[in-house]
Amino acid sequence: MDRMPNVPPASGLPRRDQIRKEAARLFAARGFLGVGVDEIGKAVGISGPGLYRHFAGKDAMLADLLVGISERLLEEGRRRADGSEGPAAALDALIGGHVDFALDDRDLITLHDRELLNLREEDRRTVRRLQRAYVELWVDVVRQAYPPLAAPTAEPVARASVHAVFGLINSTPHSHGPNPAEVAERAGLARGLLSYYFD
Q: What residues line the site for DNA (CB under 7 A)?
A: 1, 3-6, 8-9, 15, 33, 35-38, 41, 45-50, 52-54, 57-59
Give dist(CA 150, CA 163) in Å, integer.
Answer: 17
Burial 111-130 (b: 16+ CB within 10 A, else e): bbeebeebbeeebeebbeeb
Residue type, 95: I
For position 58 contacting a second copy by CB under 8 A, the verdict is no
Q: Where would I find the H helices in 37-105?
A: 37-44, 58-82, 87-104
For position 114 contacting a second copy by CB under 8 A, the verdict is yes
For position 83 contacting a second copy by CB under 8 A, the verdict is no
- Please pick, from the candidates 58, 63, 112, 118, the single residue that binds a second copy as defined by CB under 8 A: 118
Give dist(CA 184, CA 190) in Å, integer.
Answer: 10
For position 70 contacting a second copy by CB under 8 A, the verdict is no
Nearer to a second copy, 46 or 99 (CB): 99
Q: List the single partner that 128 binds among DNA, a second copy, none, CB under 5 to 8 Å by kind.
A: none
Residue type, 195: S
Q: List the single partner that 195 binds among DNA, a second copy, none, CB under 5 to 8 Å by kind.
A: a second copy
Closest separation between CB of residue 91 and a second copy, Å?
16
- Please pick, from the candidates 12, 175, 177, 180, the single residue that binds a second copy as defined by CB under 8 A: 175
Give dist(CA 166, CA 98) in Å, integer.
Answer: 8
Give dist(CA 100, CA 22) in Å, integer.
Answer: 20
CA–CA distance from 175 to each of 25, 162, 170, 178, 194 (Å)? 16, 21, 10, 9, 23
For position 138 contacting a second copy by CB under 8 A, the verdict is no
Give dist(CA 169, CA 171) in Å, integer.
Answer: 5
For position 18 contacting a second copy by CB under 8 A, the verdict is no
Q: Which residues are at the interface with a second copy (CB under 8 A)?
A: 29-31, 33-34, 113-114, 117-118, 156-157, 160-161, 163-164, 166-168, 170-171, 174-175, 182, 185-186, 189, 192-193, 195-197, 199
